[in-house]
Amino acid sequence: MRRHRRTRGWAWVAPALLILGVFVYLPLLQNLQYSVMEWDIYGGGSSFVGMANYEKLVGDPVFWHALLNNSAYAAVSLVCQVFGALLLAALVEGLRSERWRRALRAIYFVPSAISLTVAGLLFYFIYEPELGILNAALRGVGLDSLTQAWLGQEGTAIWAVIAMSQWQGFGYSTLLFAIAIQRIPQDLYDAASLDGVGPVRRFLQVTVPLTREMTGLMIIVTLSGAFQVFNEVMVMTSGGPNNSSQVLVSWLYRMGFGRNDFGYAAAIATVIFLLTLGVALLQLAITRKRRVEW
């Protein structure tokens, strides 16, 4: 009887497990296998080459530059979409009018609802030297010397893409932080006010510690996302000019589908896997440690 009931439980989780097994975990393992193989584009066969693809990777300057760009993405996103968003959420939730709080949360979120493709195309035009509003605005305030082809130069392309991503993504994390702040019991703030604690110390001593869990989660999500960036880079620059705005996934895409070098692309994918896995394990370590503390 008991055994019968235990097996029946499988019927509930089997569909999810089966789909995940075949279309998520199996390809993940296959990717490791592919990364130690060389694919014959014309013959269609493949042969074992050991660590050759990884050695190629270590000597590939574009790979390192892409990794650097992903790291810049991660750093800027942490500042804007985690710490900036937390501060912003605290400012919004500190407003007296409920109507304004709700309106601002919604307005900030709108760019996150539209696709990165639309946002990317939109900023492609905003950065456009002739018809874009960025250069036009700079000219308008007399900063003509700063006008430039933002996406067309090696020095500015990746930064222009990163800036767009912040515009697109900050509202989502601000909304999540606002939800976390709303969960803080109001009497903690009231007590702090009675003690004559000013808004800055109230933020540091009440808001920051009591939203720590959400902050931890957002750090993980943001870091992991920064190493998976693809859509906006593809739409705005395709990794150019001269590979200056290449990121790991766009370089993987170019190697795999541009050059049919599947083994090398799989090796890049392994690096992305290790980076995102590292971030995930970091999260597990932190949550486990916290559980012990409690």
Partner 1 sequence: MVTRTSLLGVVARTFVASFLLALAVVVIYPLLWMVLNGFKTNSELFGNPFALPLQLSWDNYVKAWNRGVSSYLVTSILVTVTSTIATVFISAWAAYGLTRMQIPFSRTVLALILGGLMLAPAVALIPLVKMFQALGLYNTFWALLILYVAFRIPFTTFLIRAYMVDLPLEIDEAAAVDGAGKARAFWSIILPMCKPILVSSVILNILFTWNEYLFAMVFTSGGDLQTLPIGLTNLMSKHGTEYPVVFAGMTIAAVPVILLFFLTQKYFVRGLADGVGK
**Which residues from 49-108 bind partner 1, rule CB under 8 A?**
88, 91-92, 94-95, 104-108
| Residue among 20, 68, 75, 146 that touches partner 1 (CB under 8 A) | 20
Interface with partner 1 in residues 243-262 (CB under 8 A): 248-249, 252-253, 256-257, 262
Candidates 1, 12, 145, 187; binder of partner 1 (CB under 8 A) is 12
Look at residues 100, 105, 240 and name the one whose alpha carbon lies nearest to residue 175.
105
Contacts of 231 (CB under 8 A, 6+ apart): 115, 116, 117, 120
Min CB(190)–partner 1 separation in Å: 17
Q: Looking at beta carbons only, is 155 or 285 nearer to partner 1?
A: 285
| Cα 92 to Cα 90: distance, rounded to the nearest angstrom | 6
* 11 binding partner 1? (CB under 8 A): yes
Contacting partner 1 within 202-241 (CB under 8 A)? 214, 217, 224, 227-228, 230-231, 234-235
Q: Which two tokens stand for residue 260?
A: 């049919």
Stretch that binds partner 1, among 1-9, 150-158, 184-192, 201-209 (CB under 8 A): 1-9
Q: Is 31 in the site for partner 1 (CB under 8 A)?
A: yes
Residue 67 identity: L
Q: Does the protein bind partner 1 through residue 277 (CB under 8 A)?
A: yes
Rounded to the nearest whole angstrom, what is the least distance from the CB of residue 35 to partner 1 in the complex? 9
Q: How far is CA 120 from the centre of its chain?
A: 15
For every residue of 17-52, DSSP letters joined together read HHHHIIIIIHHHHHHHHHTTEEE-TTT--EEE-TTH
Q: Report the residue number, 76 or 266, with the smaller CB distance to partner 1.
A: 266
**CA 148 to centroid of chain Cα atoms:** 27
| Shortest distance (Å) from residue 114 CB to partner 1 | 4
Residue 9 one-letter amino acid? G
Residues 6+ apart with CB under 8 A from 180: 89, 210, 211, 213, 214
Whether residue 193 contacts residue 183, with contact meaning beta carbons closer than 8 Å, is answered with no
Shortest Å, Cβ 242 to partner 1 = 20
Comparison of 64 and 257: residue with beta carbon closer to partner 1: 257
Task: Number of residues interacting with partner 1: please give it, by CB under 8 A.
Answer: 88
Quick one: which of 240, 50, 258, 231 has its CA closest to 153? 240
Read off φ and ψ for residue 240, nearest 5 degrees. -90, -170
Q: In the complex, what is the shortest distance from the CB of residue 28 to partner 1, in angstroms, rounded to a whole number?
A: 5
Do 241 and 157 meet the contact criterion of CB atoms below 8 Å apart?
Answer: yes
Least CB distance to partner 1 at residue 178 (A): 9
State how far the Cα of 274 lies from the Cα of 276, in Å rounded to an integer: 6
Contact 65, 71 (CB under 8 A): no
Among 109, 149, 216, 244, binds partner 1 (CB under 8 A): 109
Q: Measured from the CB of residue 207, what is the shortest distance to partner 1 in angstroms?
A: 15
List the interface residues with partner 1, window 174-193 (CB under 8 A). 175-176, 179-180, 182-183
* Binding region for partner 1 (CB under 8 A) out of 60-68, 129-137, 152-160, 286-294: 129-137
Phi-psi category of residue 142: left, alpha or beta, with phi > 0 → left and psi -120 to 50 → alpha: left
Which of 121, 197, 208, 210 touches partner 1 (CB under 8 A)?
121
Query: In terms of CB distance, is 47 or 155 closer to partner 1?
Result: 47
Name residue, tokens 């050059």: 259
